[in-house]
Structure 1
Amino acid sequence: MSASELVFPPGATRRDWMADGILAVSLSLVVIAVPFVWLGGTQEPDPRVVGVSLAMLLPLTLRRHAPLLMLALVSVAGALHLVLLDVPSPSLIAVPIVAYSVARWVPGHASRSVLVIGTFASLLGPMRWFENTTSGNPSVDVLSWGACLGAVLTPYAIGRRAREVAESRGAEVRIAEERYRLLLAEREQQGRLAEASARAVIARELHDIVAHSLSVMIVQAEGGRAAAARNPDVAAEALDTIAETGREALHEMRRIVGVLRAGPEAGERPTYAPTPTLEDIPELVARTSDRARLVVHGEPGNVPPALALTIYRVVQEALTNFLKHAGASAHATVSLSYGPQHITIDVQDDGEGVEDPTDGGGNGLRGMYERVASMGGSLRAGPRTSSPRFRVLAPLPAPPPSPPPTHRRS
């Protein structure tokens, strides 16, 4: 804490200034006017009493804005009181107020200065005022000193306790504010993570839709162009496949974009198209190429929609890579094995591998890894041993079988 903050502690408001000023003026008027009224106005106020009283009470206006300055001014006025007056005056009411104010508003060891000054004043005051009224009785002297010292120590202890309580409450408020800021930061972080996760999911969906559809359309267009001259019927069939694939891709993209656009402020509800299921995989393989075939082992059973979508997208991405990289004469086999513990996706091709300028830089494989990992499975994708032929193998945990229905006897 700087010296300026020690002398002038921050926090005094205009209302505090007004309250302290009213207190100082009110006490000054009471201390000066009460003896005059009490004597019935027959005796003029002593100028020395009036001056000392004003000097001791008016500095109370600074008790919250500058308590140490108030202590210094009141100490000087108290010294004048000892010199000029041989009896205690009502203005000594300022002593406990000063002791409390310094203890309450001055931090650290600096507040103990009021104890040092108050201790000396408690010894000197009785010696000055009661030296002619006591008969040298030690008990009376000790009692006088104890009373004066208690007028300093008791308000000081009350003031320090009030300061400790205020600091404790302030610490609790700061802790609560910090906890609230951390909570807001955590919520904001969770919102960003949720947003990033949503963006990743949408990016995977768009990549799977666009990449597969465009790959099928490119392959069909190239095949149709090659067959247009010698077999127009094959070219027309290829164009039909291109149109159907384009319509399906556009439909799915509209579904995703519709979900993104719709919100509370949009005033409309999005239209949700059915997501692909296991029943759509045979059509996917057939539409991809006549060089791809599907082999299914076992029965799928009750597969959850999220797992079915993952299987569909992995097969779709594997066939997309087959169309891009395997070559025009390659063939692919998609094997789906439904077992009690695992559902295995195995896509193999016999291609030699070609460079594709439309390659997505590995986003498709990364999307497959993320999808399979989210379902608790694992994925291996790469060339087979000592061969450029490519294989995608993804075992996924199978859902537990549904319990048989129980019939209650009526």
Structure 2
Amino acid sequence: MSTMTTEPRGPARALLLNGAARRVAARLCDVLLVLVVLAGADRADSELDLVVGGLMALCLLLRRRRPGAVLAAVLALGAAQFALHGLSDTQPTTVPAPYDVAVLFAMMSVVHHSRAAWMPYAAGVTVLTASALGATGVPGTGMEPFLHSWQDLTLLWGMTIAVWLLAYSLQARRLYAESQAARARQAERERAHLVRIATAEERAEIARELHDVVAHSLAVMTLQADGAGYVLRTSPDAAAAALKVIAATGRDAIDDMHRIVRVLRHGDGDGGGPDTAPRRKAVTLGEIHTAVARARAAGLSVGLSIETGEERLTAAEQVTAFRIVQESLTNVLRHAGTGAKADVRLWEERDVLLVTVVDDGGGRLSHDGDARVARRGGNGLVGMRERAELAGGGLEAGPRLGPGWRVCARIPRRMDDDAGERNDPGGRG
């Protein structure tokens, strides 16, 4: 398992680097605009033009953070420039002046950087209205118009609209780039989340497989070894039979462990060619007879009733039923001990496969510890419940009335159009 890091990779990292380059370019652009406005103020005729133009240039330094306030300040300075030109005989300011281009720069900043949807349109209408007032003058104040023909006003409006459209297109590109960066970050988060989910599911799968192999095999081998030790001198034939069961169970457990290790090394059947890829063990309802025979050899009295056929169940349903029966018998051996009686039954009811394993607890009532296990669930119960839920069903397990324990699993059957899948030996064994 790889260690998760917070450093962005792939598209997110590329967009981040491009964003850093854009920030540097943006700062250079701000400096360039300020220099253009200051150069225009320096070329004007009056010293006050340098003051007004310099203030406009200083306002533009904040155009990215406060675009609306910058536009209002620049328009106010333009109105002051207009008023000083019309109210003074000495014409301390020049109208129009080259530094008035700051108004277009401020409007462009509002369109490009504002977050409110209405502000770009309000900025365009405000600048167009201010241009019209400049063309007609302000009656009653003595301010004379600085545009002398409608052709001049049309030219100025055309320039304003062109700048507005340019800023609007830049805003669309900026929003698109931000959305792409957000999507890339979201994709990175989703990919990491899917990896964590897949890892957790794979670990749970491996845990179930190991528990099914180790717990059942060790329980049978331990009970057989104990029995062989008791009858070694009095009944050598029975001891020899127990040792054969131990050997057979051990060989099957080793085969299962090798299969699990191969899956871990090569993946789920996709590593290497057809001769080297690990093969999954085909598990059918017939394996239940083997599990029951081993439980009987270990000292249990087991009754078995299978009222369905392998051809009616998919491979996954057969594996689920077998593992639930196997784990239930293992629990009977472990908790009830030899001499206990158990009944295993599989039947269908309304397109649902029902699996029940009921034991008498060796004639002993369930203890408090057993009740706690029923509520909390040990590893075996958790594994059985997970298998049933993965098949779309459920599992109930707990002490029954009187001595013993009862396990009941419900496994919904697939429809008949899945018949081709039933003969697929790729079930998890």
The alignment's TM-score, normalised by the length of structure 2, stands at 0.65
Answer yes or no: is 1:191 the counterpart of 2:195: yes
Q: Is the 8 A contact 1:99 1:152 kept in 2?
A: no
CA offsets 1:60-103 (integer angstroms, 9 cap, x no match): 866743565888988888788776866996972332x1221222
Specify the code of the residue in structure 2 equivalent to 1:333: D
For 1:388 and 1:63, how far apart are their aligned partners in 2?
Answer: 88
Answer yes or no: is 1:391 the counterpart of 2:406: yes
Name the CA shift for 1:10/1:103 in 2 (closer, same or farther; >3 Å). Answer: farther
**Partner of 2:395 in structure 1?**
379
Q: Is the 8 A contact 2:271 2:277 kept in 1?
A: no
Name the CA shift for 1:147/1:162 in 2 (closer, same or farther; >3 Å). Answer: same
For these two proteins, the number of residue pairs brought into alignment is 364
Q: For 2:262, which of 239, 258, 261 is the aligned residue? A: 258
Q: For 2:285, which of 278, 281, 289 is the aligned residue? A: 278
CA offsets 1:342-395 (integer angstroms, 9 cap, x no match): 4332323232247799x89522122222222322334333333x3213232334
Answer yes or no: is 1:287 the counterpart of 2:294: yes
CA offsets 1:260-309 (integer angstroms, 9 cap, x no match): 23359x98665234142222221221123333343333533242211111
Q: Is the 8 A contact 1:295 1:335 kept in 2?
A: yes
- Cα deviation for residue 255 of structure 1 reads 1.8
Answer yes or no: is 1:21 the counterpart of 2:35: yes
Name the CA shift for 1:368/1:219 in 2 (closer, same or farther; >3 Å). Answer: same
For 1:377 and 1:317, how far apart are their aligned partners in 2?
Answer: 17
For 1:332 and 1:298, how far apart are their aligned partners in 2?
Answer: 20
* Residues 201-210 or 160-169, more deviating: 160-169
Any unmatched runs of 5+ in structure 1? 1-8, 33-47, 131-140, 406-410
**Partner of 2:337 in structure 1?**
327
**Partner of 2:13 in structure 1?**
none
Q: Is the 8 A contact 1:87 1:129 kept in 2?
A: no
For 2:169 and 2:417, how far apart are their aligned partners in 1?
Answer: 63
Specify the code of the residue in structure 2 equivalent to 1:315: V
**Partner of 2:326 in structure 1?**
316
For 2:89 and 2:62, how far apart are their aligned partners in 1?
Answer: 27
Q: Is the 8 A contact 1:284 1:316 kept in 2?
A: yes
SS for the counterpart of 2:304 is: strand
SS for the counterpart of 2:398 is: strand
- Cα deviation for residue 207 of structure 1 reads 1.5
Specify the code of the residue in structure 1 equivalent to 2:281: P
For 1:267 and 1:400, how far apart are their aligned partners in 2?
Answer: 32
- Cα deviation for residue 323 of structure 1 reads 0.4
For 1:267 and 1:404, how far apart are their aligned partners in 2?
Answer: 28
Q: For 2:230, which of 218, 226, 232 is the aligned residue? A: 226
For 1:401 and 1:223, how far apart are their aligned partners in 2?
Answer: 47
* Residues 294-303 or 315-324, more deviating: 294-303
SS for the counterpart of 2:310 is: coil
For 1:151 and 1:403, how far apart are their aligned partners in 2?
Answer: 75
Name the CA shift for 1:294/1:159 in 2 (closer, same or farther; >3 Å). Answer: same
Name the CA shift for 1:156/1:142 in 2 (closer, same or farther; >3 Å). Answer: closer
- Cα deviation for residue 210 of structure 1 reads 1.4
Please list, as runs of the form range in 1=range in 2, the aligned pairs for 1:142-157 lying within 5 A after superposition: 144=148
SS for the counterpart of 2:337 is: coil
Q: Is the 8 A contact 1:105 1:163 kept in 2?
A: yes
For 1:267 and 1:296, how far apart are their aligned partners in 2?
Answer: 37
- Cα deviation for residue 320 of structure 1 reads 0.5
- Cα deviation for residue 21 of structure 1 reads 3.2
For 1:376 and 1:88, how far apart are their aligned partners in 2?
Answer: 83
- Cα deviation for residue 220 of structure 1 reads 0.7
SS for the counterpart of 2:263 is: helix
Answer yes or no: is 1:93 the counterpart of 2:93: no
SS for the counterpart of 1:396 is: strand
CA offsets 1:96-134 (integer angstroms, 9 cap, x no match): x1221222236679997998899689859xx9998xxxx
The alignment's TM-score, normalised by the length of structure 1, stands at 0.67
Name the CA shift for 1:94/1:115 in 2 (closer, same or farther; >3 Å). Answer: farther
For 2:332 and 2:348, how far apart are their aligned partners in 1?
Answer: 23
SS for the counterpart of 1:198 is: helix
Any unmatched runs of 5+ in structure 2? 1-22, 64-69, 421-429
Name the CA shift for 1:123/1:362 in 2 (closer, same or farther; >3 Å). Answer: same
**Partner of 1:37 in structure 2?**
none
Structure of greater Rg: 1
Specify the code of the residue in structure 2 equivalent to 1:382: G
Specify the code of the residue in structure 2 equivalent to 1:274: K
Q: Is the 8 A contact 2:131 2:157 kept in 1?
A: no
Name the CA shift for 1:403/1:198 in 2 (closer, same or farther; >3 Å). Answer: closer
Name the CA shift for 1:122/1:387 in 2 (closer, same or farther; >3 Å). Answer: same
Specify the code of the residue in structure 1 equivalent to 2:204: A
For 2:156 and 2:417, how far apart are their aligned partners in 1?
Answer: 83
Q: Is the 8 A contact 1:21 1:60 kept in 2?
A: no
**Partner of 2:363 in structure 1?**
352
For 1:270 and 1:241, how far apart are their aligned partners in 2?
Answer: 31
Q: Is the 8 A contact 1:332 1:348 kept in 2?
A: yes
* Residues 58-67 or 274-283, more deviating: 58-67
For 1:11 and 1:346, how far apart are their aligned partners in 2?
Answer: 73
Specify the code of the residue in structure 2 equivalent to 1:193: I
Answer yes or no: is 1:249 the counterpart of 2:256: no
For 1:289 and 1:241, how far apart are their aligned partners in 2?
Answer: 11
Q: Is the 8 A contact 2:96 2:146 kept in 1?
A: no
SS for the counterpart of 2:358 is: strand
**Partner of 1:363 in structure 2?**
379
